[in-house]
Amino acid sequence: MLKHGTTATSTSDTPRAVQSYKLKMIDGVPENRHPTMLAKNPAGTTPFIELEDGTCLAESVTICEYLDLLYPNERQLTGGPDPLTQMQCSMWTTRVQIGITQPFQRQYQYGEGAPYFKHHVPWVEASVPALAGLRKQTIDNLRWLEEVMQGNANKGVDTGFIAGTAHCTVPDLQLYTTAKFMGHPKVNVARLTDSFDPGGDGTFGPWLTEWYARMDNIVKEMEGQQDELG
């Protein structure tokens, strides 16, 4: 099984048969938008996985659901093992995607990243006026998430993870990786728009700040396991 996308972590929570693959430029275009890749994944998105028979699956959540079904005895990225826990995880995945990570990513694509993305996403220039609203949507929903998580903590039902599971799941990974990427100095350069780094500029409240540090440690542990695997 081959994973196409940015460098991936390989952990005890995911099958070791998955290999990471770092994209490069081909003929002046990103590899994921090159015709050879578009033949595998017409959406031109990453990540996607290519199975031994040539079948391709794209979209992060879909890939996690597929891997959880393949390896039901491993720790489940999509909640598991009972239906209620799975659906609670699905609920929080949808909330985080629609309310936070999607507007978070688009405010970058239509703002700081517009000079690049306008060459690959045809509606970027027409969407630039939406930047302020997307950023406000992200901030307001981060504050809402903080309030809900703090409420759970006050009621004694907080587990330290967004979906209320005993371990990190898809909504944790989605929000963490998005915030981490957006805070990177090569991305958050503030040439065209104001700097926006919720994980480092105080937008995260106390619960999210502790959660962010916890996720940092989890990812470092994952990376250490990947190094051991070679």
pLDDT at 217: 93
pTM of the model: 0.84
pLDDT at 129: 95
Which of these, 54, 50, 72, lies nearest to 63 by C-alpha position?
50
Residues facing residue 57 across a β-bridge: 49
Find the domain containing 206 and state its range: 84-229
Let me know if residue 79 belongs to a domain.
no
| Structural domain count, the chain | 2
Let me know if residue 78 belongs to a domain.
no
* CA–CA dist 130, 137 (Å, integer): 11
Who contacts 175 (Cβ-Cβ below 8 Å, separation ≥6)?
96, 100, 101, 162
Read off the pLDDT band of 168 (50, 70, 90): very high
Beta strands across the sheet bearing 2-4 = 2-4, 48-50, 56-58
| Residue 227 in this model has a pLDDT that exceeds 80 | no
Tens digits of residue pLDDT in 43-101: 888 888 888 898 999 999 999 999 899 888 888 899 878 899 999 999 999 999 999 99
Tens digits of residue pLDDT in 122-149: 999 999 999 999 999 999 999 999 999 9
Let me know if residue 217 belongs to a domain.
yes
Residue 63 belongs to a domain with what CATH number? 3.40.30
Residue 125 belongs to a domain with what CATH number? 1.20.1050.10
Contact 133, 191 (CB under 8 A): no
* CA–CA dist 213, 219 (Å, integer): 10
Q: Are residues 186 and 221 in the same domain?
A: yes
